[in-house]
Amino acid sequence: MDYATILVHLDAGRRVYDRLQLGTKLALAFHSRLIGLLAVGKPDPTAVRYLVDGDRYLASYDEWRHQVYERARHALMGATDEVAVMTEWRAPDWATAATVQAEAHRADLVILGQHDPTDEAAYAEHGFVESIVLESARPVLVVPYAGRFPVVGKKILVAWNGSRESARAIRDALPFLQRAGAVEVVSWTSSGVLKAPWLSPPQHAVDWLGQHGVTVRLCTFSAEDGEDVGQMLLSHAADLDADMIVMGAYGHSRLHEVVLGGVTRTLLASMTVPVLMSH
C-alpha cells in the first residue's frame, strides 16, 4: 500500500517551501503524484459591497492573488524539477477551507501547515486546519511552523486510546508505519475511570500492525485526573526522539464552530514534530 496522490496546501506563508520539500520527499518514497493546491481565501464580501472603493479593493485583491499564484506555482516547479515526481497544479478561484476539503477527496494524503500566529501572510481562515482534519475523510499530515524536519517517519509514536479514530489512524498511516525504523504504540490509562466496552486495548493495535509486518514496542502509562495527556504525549515523543506522531483526531463541527477533543487541541496548538491525524 502506498499513497498514490499527495496534496500539499499552498498559500502566501513563509513555510510553503518546507511543505513542498517534505511533499516531494514523500512523493518520491511512495511513488506518488504530487498536487500543489493554492488556497488563499476570498475577498471580504462586506468590503466589496459596501465600501465606496470596493472595486479598487477587489482589484487589489486580484493582483495580490496573482502574485501569490506565480510564487506558489514556481515553488512547486522548483521543488520538483530535478526529481522524478509527477506533479499537478491546482488553483481554483477564491479557494477556501471548503475547497480544500473537496479537493482532498481526490487525494490519499493531505499536507498542511500548523497555524502560525506570527505569519500574517499565511492563510488563516478560522479553524482552517481543524476543519480539514475533521471533514476531509483523509489522513492529514500537519507540519509544525517551528523547526525543520528533513526526516519524517523513521521513528513514529502512535497514540492509542482504543477508539474508532485510533483504529482509523493506524490504517491511514500504514504506508509510513511499514517503512519506519521504529514504531512505539503509547497508551495512557486513568485510574478509577471505567473504560467503555467498545474501546480496544493497545495490544489490539500491536497485533494488527504485526499482521502487516510492522514491529511495534508497546508502552502504557498512567494519567491522573486533570493531567494534560497531550502535553505528556509531546514530552514522550521528545524523549523517544520521534520524528512523527500518528493519532486519531477527535472533534466535530457545531453551528460553524469546530469543537475539538483535548489531546487533539493540544497537539494542533503545541506540536513539535509532524503529526498525522485521521478522523
Please state, in angstroms and rounded to a whole number, the distance separating the CA atoms of residues 86 and 210: 32
CA angle 158, 170, 83 (to 5 degrees): 95
User: Beta-carbon neighbour count of residue 88 at 10 Å?
Assistant: 13
Question: The domain at 155-278 falls in which architecture?
Answer: 3-Layer(aba) Sandwich (3.40)
pTM here?
0.93
Same fold, 5-143 and 155-278: yes
**pLDDT per residue as tens, the chain (279 positions):** 689 999 999 999 999 999 999 999 999 999 999 999 999 998 766 656 666 677 787 888 889 999 999 999 999 999 999 999 999 999 998 899 999 999 999 999 999 999 999 999 999 888 899 999 999 999 999 999 999 998 899 999 999 999 999 999 999 999 999 999 999 999 987 755 557 777 899 999 999 999 999 999 999 988 776 578 889 999 999 999 999 999 999 876 654 455 556 889 899 999 999 999 999
Per-residue pLDDT at 22: 97
**Can you list the positions of beta strands (E) in the chain?**
5-10, 33-38, 87-90, 109-113, 140-143, 155-159, 182-189, 217-222, 244-248, 251-254, 257-260, 275-278
**Burial bucket for residue 203 (CB in 10 Å: 0-12, 13-18, 19+):** middle
In this predicted structure, what is the pLDDT of residue 48?
Answer: 60
Domain edges within the chain: 5-143, 155-278
Bridge pairing between strands 275-278 and 140-143: antiparallel
Q: How far apart are CA 137 and CA 104, in angstroms?
A: 8
> What is the predicted pLDDT for the residue at 172?
98
Its CATH architecture, for the domain 5-143, is: 3-Layer(aba) Sandwich (3.40)
Under 8 Å between Cβ of 3 and 31: no
